[in-house]
Amino acid sequence: MDQKQESGVTNKTNQQLNKPNAEALLAWYDRHHRTLPWRVIPKDRSVGVVNDPYHVWMSEIMLQQTTVGAVKSYFEKFLTMWPTLSDLAAASEEDVLKAWAGLGYYSRARNLKKCADHVQLHHNGRFPDNAKALKELPGIGDYTSAAIASIAFDEEVPVVDGNIERIVSRLYHIEEALPKAKKPIKEKVAELTPSERPGDFAQGMMDLGASLCSPKKPACSLCPFSGTCEAEGIGDQERFPIKAPKKQKPTRYGAAFLIKRQEDGAIWLRQRPDKGLLASMSEVPSSDWFGKSAEKFELASALDHAPEGLEFRKLVGQVIHTFTHFHLVLDVYETTSTDSEPMNKGWWSEPQSLKDEALPTVFRKVVEMGLER
C-alpha cells in the first residue's frame, strides 16, 4: 500500500489522493492515544490484558453526549461503589440516581440499572459478545452496541459516533447533511474498519476526533490521514460535517420555594414524577414552568404557586439554567419552618446530606442561592 503521494504535489485537487487506511490510524493511536480510567492501552493489550465488558459498558453509557472530563470522576465513583455487574444489580435505583446526579440525561441512569438487572437475570451476569445482541439491552443503541462489541469483544463492526462522523465526512467529502449522511458514513466506516484491532481503531478514531480533527481549526498537518483526506485536498475542512440548522431555545419562567428547618437548616425536598424532564429525580418544591417564548411568568403571581400556609420572602437574583431544549429562569423564595412536615410528600435533607441527594444541577443552584445569604 502506498503510504504517501508523490512529493512536491500540493493537495489542490483530489485526483492524486491515496485512500485512507486503517494502519496509519492505528500507528498514530499507538503513539498518541489518551490514557483513560476505563481504557486498556495498546501496550497492555499486546501482553494479554483484556478489557472488562462491565467497565467498557459503564464508560460508554456515561460518555453518551458527555465529555471525557465530566465522566472521569463519575466512572471512578461508580466502580468504587459497585465494582462488578452483580453489585450494581443488587443496588437500588434510588442509589444509582443519587450517584448519577449532576451528570445529566438521567434516563441513562435508569437504563443503566435496568440493563444491569437484565444481564444479571437473563444472561448469567455476562454481557452478550456481539453488537446485535447488545443492542437489545436498555440504553444501548447503534453506537454503544458497536463500541462495546468492538472494544470489549474484538468484533469487526463499524462504530460511528459524532467524532467519526466528522472525520469520515471530511475524509470522503460528504456533502449530504446529517442525519441523512449517517448511512453513507457508516458504509465508509465499515469499509475502513480493520479485522485486526477493530476496537483500537474505533478508539483511535475518537481520539483523533477529540484532538487533531476538531470541529474548528483541525490540525491537518499532524493527522495520520493527511494526504488522503478529500476535505483537506480542497482546503475546506471546517465545512464538514454539514448539519441542518438548529432551532433556537425558548425561555420558560417559574419559582422555587426553599423551606429551611429552623433548628438545623435542613431543606425540604420532594421527588419529581417518574416521567418527563428529570424524571424520578429530587427537587426543591417548585411551580410549573411557564411561557414557550415571550409569555413571561408573572412574578406577582408566583406566590399563587407556593406551598400553602407558609410565608415566603423573595431572594435577590434568579437562577438561570439551560436544558437541552429551553432556557429556564427561576425566582427563588425562602421561608423557615418549625414543622416536622411543612407540606405533604417530601423529606428534610440536612446540610451535610444534600450532596448525596439525587438533586439535578438546576436545584443545586437553587439551594446554593439560599445558602449565600
Partner DNA sequence: GAAGCGTGGTA
Partner DNA sequence: TTACCAAGCTT
Residues marked as catalytic: 60
Q: How far apart are the first and last CA of the chain?
A: 68
Query: Is 209 one of the binding residues for DNA (CB under 7 A)?
Result: yes
The least distance separating DNA from the CB of residue 344, rounded to whole angstroms, comes to 25
Q: Which of 22-30, 119-127, 219-227, 317-325 is the region at the interface with DNA (rule: CB under 7 A)? A: 317-325
What whole-number distance in Å separates Cα of residue 96 and Cα of residue 61? 13
Say whether the peptide bond before residue 20 is cis (omega within 30 degrees of 0): no
Instruction: Map residue 16 onto helix, strand or coil.
Output: coil
Cβ neighbours of residue 107 closer than 8 Å, sequence gap 6 or more: 139, 279
Query: Is 72 one of the binding residues for DNA (CB under 7 A)?
Result: no
Considering just the CA atoms, what is the radius of gyration of the chain in Å?
25
Q: Which is nearer to DNA, 19 or 180 (CB)?
A: 180
Query: Is 360 one of the binding residues for DNA (CB under 7 A)?
Result: yes
Query: Is 67 one of the binding residues for DNA (CB under 7 A)?
Result: yes
Q: Which is nearer to DNA, 260 or 272 (CB)?
A: 272
Instruction: Map residue 322 onto helix, strand or coil.
Output: strand
Which of 325, 338, 344, 345 touches DNA by CB under 7 A?
325
Which of 289, 290, 312, 323 touches DNA by CB under 7 A?
323
Query: Is 317 one of the binding residues for DNA (CB under 7 A)?
Result: no
Tell me, by CB under 7 A, how many residues bind DNA. 62
Residues numbered 145 to 204 that lie near DNA (CB under 7 A) are 145, 147, 161-163, 166, 179-180, 203
Nearest Cα to Cα of residue 284 among 226, 206, 170, 368: 368
Query: Is 278 one of the binding residues for DNA (CB under 7 A)?
Result: yes
Query: Is 14 one of the binding residues for DNA (CB under 7 A)?
Result: no
CA distances, 144 to each of 125, 132, 270 (Å): 19, 11, 33
The least distance separating DNA from the CB of residue 15, rounded to whole angstroms, comes to 30
Q: Which is nearer to DNA, 278 or 315 (CB)?
A: 278
Query: Is 138 one of the binding residues for DNA (CB under 7 A)?
Result: yes
Q: Which is nearer to DNA, 247 or 313 (CB)?
A: 247
The least distance separating DNA from the CB of residue 307, rounded to whole angstroms, comes to 23
Using an 8 Å Cβ cutoff, are 130 and 143 in contact? no
Q: Which is nearer to DNA, 208 or 310 (CB)?
A: 208
Give the cell for residue 214.
476538531
Which of 14, 86, 120, 214 touches DNA by CB under 7 A?
214
Kindly report the number of other CB atoms within 10 A of residue 206's CB atom.
21
Phi, psi of 319 (to 5 degrees): -95, 125
Query: Is 210 one of the binding residues for DNA (CB under 7 A)?
Result: yes
Nearest Cα to Cα of residue 315 among 257, 271, 362: 257
Using an 8 Å Cβ cutoff, are 92 and 76 in contact? no
Query: Is 10 one of the binding residues for DNA (CB under 7 A)?
Result: no
Which of 53, 139, 158, 227 touches DNA by CB under 7 A?
139
Residues numbered 22 to 41 that lie near DNA (CB under 7 A) are 34, 36, 38-39
Angle between helical axes of 198-210 and 142-153 (0-180°, round to 10)? 120
Torsion sign, CA atoms 312, 314, 315, 320: positive
Q: Which is nearer to DNA, 66 or 335 (CB)?
A: 66
Nearest Cα to Cα of residue 241 among 252, 230, 256, 226: 230
The least distance separating DNA from the CB of residue 358, rounded to whole angstroms, comes to 10
Amino acid letter, residue 223: C
Using an 8 Å Cβ cutoff, are 188 and 13 in contact? no
Cβ neighbours of residue 370 closer than 8 Å, sequence gap 6 or more: 258, 260, 267, 315, 332, 334
| Residue span 80-119 as binding mask against DNA, x where in contact by CB under 7 A, dash where not | ----------------------xxxxxx---x--------
Kindly report the number of other CB atoms within 10 A of residue 28's CB atom.
18
Q: Which of 12-20, 67-75, 119-127, 169-177 is the region at the interface with DNA (rule: CB under 7 A)? A: 67-75
Given the rule CB under 7 A, which residues bind DNA?
34, 36, 38-39, 59-60, 63-70, 102-107, 111, 138-145, 147, 161-163, 166, 179-180, 203, 206-207, 209-210, 214-216, 243, 245-249, 276-279, 321-325, 360-362
